[in-house]
């Protein structure tokens, strides 16, 4: 059985690696630990090669910022930022104008309020004066009406209906043609109670109800 061939085991594989990395002259005397150390070095070298390959693959990946989609979004972002800055600038300008107008309006409102107060005060004064004038006018008018009611002009008047009974005096000196007469009412001047042609001065008459009074060219008579 010594000549029967056997399949190579792990020892045979390690020997092949050792043959590659060891000097042929010293292959018969190499210790068992030395080939294992060289095997670890070989594995480490393979790992370094794989890592370097990975780095090379990583650097070969495309830059996402260079993609059309990224550039499109970046352009849109820039446009939006520009529009935003323009809107902020416009807002600031309008806000400044608004504040200026608001301050002006406030000042004008204060001025208008002050003038309204002055006008109101003046209006109150005018109304007070108008009320005083009206009161005087009413008093004068009342006095004039009372005087007119108690004044008798030329003509024939029935005492008690046309004129008030009482004593009357000529308002001014009469002339020589002045004539006055007192008659019984309803007689049409046929029943003379009293009459006179004074010829001057300011004659006085006393009239009672039931009488008629006639004044001719004597002017006005005022009740006393």
pLDDT tens, residue by residue, 4-17: 444 444 444 444 43
Co-location of 174 and 113 in the same domain? no
Domain that holds residue 157: 152-223
Distance, CA of 170 to CA of 154 (rounded, Å): 11
Looking at the fold, whether 144 and 72 belong to one and the same domain comes out as yes
Q: Is the pLDDT of residue 204 over 80?
A: yes
Q: What confidence tier does 35 reach under pLDDT thresholds 50, 70, 90?
A: low
pLDDT single digits (tens) 68-109 = 989 899 899 999 999 999 999 999 999 999 999 888 898 888
Angle 129-131-136 from CA coordinates, rounded to 5°: 95
Co-location of 206 and 136 in the same domain: no
Same domain for 167 and 129: no
Residue 57 lies in a domain: no
Are both 114 and 181 inside the same structural domain?
no
Average pLDDT, the chain: 80
Lowest mean pLDDT among 20-34, 106-120, 151-165: 20-34
What global pTM score does this model have? 0.41
Tell me: do 144 and 174 sit in the same domain.
Answer: no
State phi, psi for 3 to the nearest 5 degrees: -90, 0
Do 83 and 124 belong to one domain? yes
Assigned domain for 58 exists: no
Query: What is the number of domains present in the chain?
Result: 2
Domain termination residue (choose one: 122, 149, 176): 149
Higher pLDDT, 137 or 27: 137
Final residue belonging to a domain, choices 149, 168, 184: 149
Is 95 a member of any domain?
Answer: yes
Domain boundary among the residues 100, 123, 149 is at: 149
Is there a single domain that holds both residue 187 and residue 206? Answer: yes
Same domain, 113 and 164: no
Q: Which of 160, 202, 162, 207 is nearest to 181 (CA)?
A: 207
Structural domain includes residue 59: no
For residue 167, the model assigns a pLDDT of 98
């Amino acid at each position: 059985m010594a000549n029967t061939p056997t399949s190579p085991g792990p020892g045979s594989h390690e020997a092949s690696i050792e043959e590659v990395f060891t000097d042929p002259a010293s292959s018969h005397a190499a210790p068992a630990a030395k080939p294992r150390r060289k095997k670890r070095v070989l594995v480490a070298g393979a790992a370094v090669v794989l890592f370097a390959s990975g780095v090379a693959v990583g650097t070969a990946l495309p830059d996402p910022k260079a993609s059309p989609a990224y550039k499109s979004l970046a352009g849109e972002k820039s446009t939006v930022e520009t529009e935003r800055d323009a809107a902020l600038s416009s807002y600031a300008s309008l806000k400044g104008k608004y504040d200026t107008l608001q301050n002006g309006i406030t000042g004008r409102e204060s001025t208008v309020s002050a003038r309204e107060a002055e006008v109101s005060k003046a209006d109150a004064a005018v109304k007070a004066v108008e009320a005083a004038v009206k009161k005087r006018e009413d008093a004068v008018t009342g006095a004039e009406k009372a005087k007119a009611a108690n004044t008798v002009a030329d003509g024939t008047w029935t005492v008690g209906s046309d004129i008030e009974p009482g004593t009357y005096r000529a308002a001014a000196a009469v002339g020589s043609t002045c004539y006055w007469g007192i008659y019984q009412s309803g007689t049409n001047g046929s029943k003379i109670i009293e009459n006179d042609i004074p010829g001057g001065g300011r004659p006085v008459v006393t009239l009672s109800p039931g009488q008629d009074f006639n004044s001719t060219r004597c002017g006005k008579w005022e009740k006393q």
